[in-house]
Structure 1
Amino acid sequence: MNSTWNERRWAKRAKPADGRPLKPFRWWQMISRSLMSITVPVQGRPVVHTVEVKHAGDSRDGVVRARLYLDGHLRLESKLPARFPVEGGHIEVRVSQAGMRRCHYIADDGTERRLVPDPRSAEGRRMRFAREHPTASALVGLVAVVMLIIGIGLNLLQVAEPISEIPPIAETVGTFRSPLHLPVWLNVALGFGAVAAATERALRMRYHRLLDSGAAT
């Protein structure tokens, strides 16, 4: 599989690690830590590949990194976006300000498999909710999309007005007056709604350039 220049650059970020053991997932890390795994054969033996991301960054320097553990021992770490070379392919990891954007094993033949989140993590709980309550899960997902579309629309209206008042623009196309002037409390509520919607989509690793690109890494 041919890789792009960006992907080759991401692969160079992966550095050997010290082999320390993977710490168990704790309930208080539900939002701050993502832990996802997949089993890949290595020399004919099944090996659990686990990716860890601490969204608040490392305690020593604040940098958000992805770490790859093989059978519970740290082998590689990388700044994000990350591309870890593994047996038969590579694992690609990307995040946004809202959480995980992508964590997939891509085989050399181009097939992809998403890593499975730890059941105690926020992503794992969201996956279980989708499995046990598919209709409610689909409704929550739809509401999240609607909230983001509303947020994008309102932002465009609010940004268009001051931009249209810039003299060269105003002289060329005239000024624009937004038909909507929302009270502060409603703007704040819609802002919180957009954040919640972005987080919900990140828990399912859903990404769309228009809806989610403002928070991608």
Structure 2
Amino acid sequence: MFDEWRRRRAIQRIKPGDGRALKRFRWWQPLSRSLFYLPADAGAGRPVEYAVDVHHLRSDDNGDTEAHLYRDGLRYARTRLPAVFPIEGGAIEVMASAFGIRRCHFVADDGTEQQLVPDPRSAEGRRARLDRERPALSRWIGVVSLVLIVVPLILGLPQTVESISRFPPLAERFGVFDSPVDAPAWLNVVFVISATVGSTERALRLRYNRWLDQVAG
């Protein structure tokens, strides 16, 4: 997911942590905080547990959202997103979208990947439990979330193209595109809400597609 240049830049941004203890996930934080764990694995040369903590509504002095890396429960490092944290045997990669976390994986030195485990009290953790305990319902929810994104994109794209085509230089050169869809304002608001809900649900499963979720955002 990271090319070599972006990886080096991300590593250079890392700042040391202050040793502060990791705070317990609270019941009111599901939509404002993401917390993932990478369990210790002595066989892989990783004797300690790591945790990645992201507060979506907090930012640093530059207005950027940060990821905080905890080592055995103590804050070990922090950096703005997207983040790459080198650890024993590989690196933890963290990326976010407008709707939540899109990637939180341990990438081993041999290229194999392992998604970190979400805290069971987090929104991602509750969604993962639903997937384990009721897989059929989980699949249907996934289908519905995709529909909530695709339908607004299909119906809203012609209107967007028409609006862009009305820009004077484009209109003079190419003419104005006449959209076959002319939805009222209230329906366009519904489209936006629909796409937001669908993309948020996908983010809880760390699903991301640049053609769907990026456009929806």
TM-score normalised over the length of structure 2: 0.90
Q: Which has the larger displacement, 96-105 or 2-11?
A: 2-11
Cα 1:204/1:20, change in 2 over 3 Å:
same
Aligned 1:177-188 pairs, distance under 5 A: 177-188=178-189
Aligned to 2:200: 199
| Structure 1 residue 84: Cα displacement | 0.3
Aligned partners of 2:4, 2:60: CA distance in 1, in Å? 32
Deviations 1:167-201 (A, max 9, x none): 55445543321111222222222211111111001
Aligned to 2:111: 110
| Structure 1 residue 35: Cα displacement | 0.5
Identity across the alignment (%): 50
Cα 1:168/1:35, change in 2 over 3 Å:
closer
Aligned to 1:157: 158
Cα 1:114/1:171, change in 2 over 3 Å:
same
| Structure 1 residue 202: Cα displacement | 0.5
Q: Which has the larger displacement, 28-37 or 178-187?
A: 178-187
Q: CA RMSD in A?
A: 2.2
Aligned to 1:38: 38
Q: Which has the larger displacement, 206-215 or 126-135?
A: 206-215
Q: Which has the larger displacement, 113-122 or 11-20?
A: 11-20
Cα 1:142/1:45, change in 2 over 3 Å:
closer
Q: Is the 8 A contact 1:105 1:113 kept in 2?
A: yes
**Structure 2 gaps, min length 5:** none
TM-score normalised over the length of structure 1: 0.90
Cα 1:82/1:185, change in 2 over 3 Å:
same
Aligned partners of 2:156, 2:124: CA distance in 1, in Å? 29
| Structure 1 residue 50: Cα displacement | 0.3
Cα 1:117/1:173, change in 2 over 3 Å:
same
How many equivalent pairs are there?
215
**Structure 1 gaps, min length 5:** none
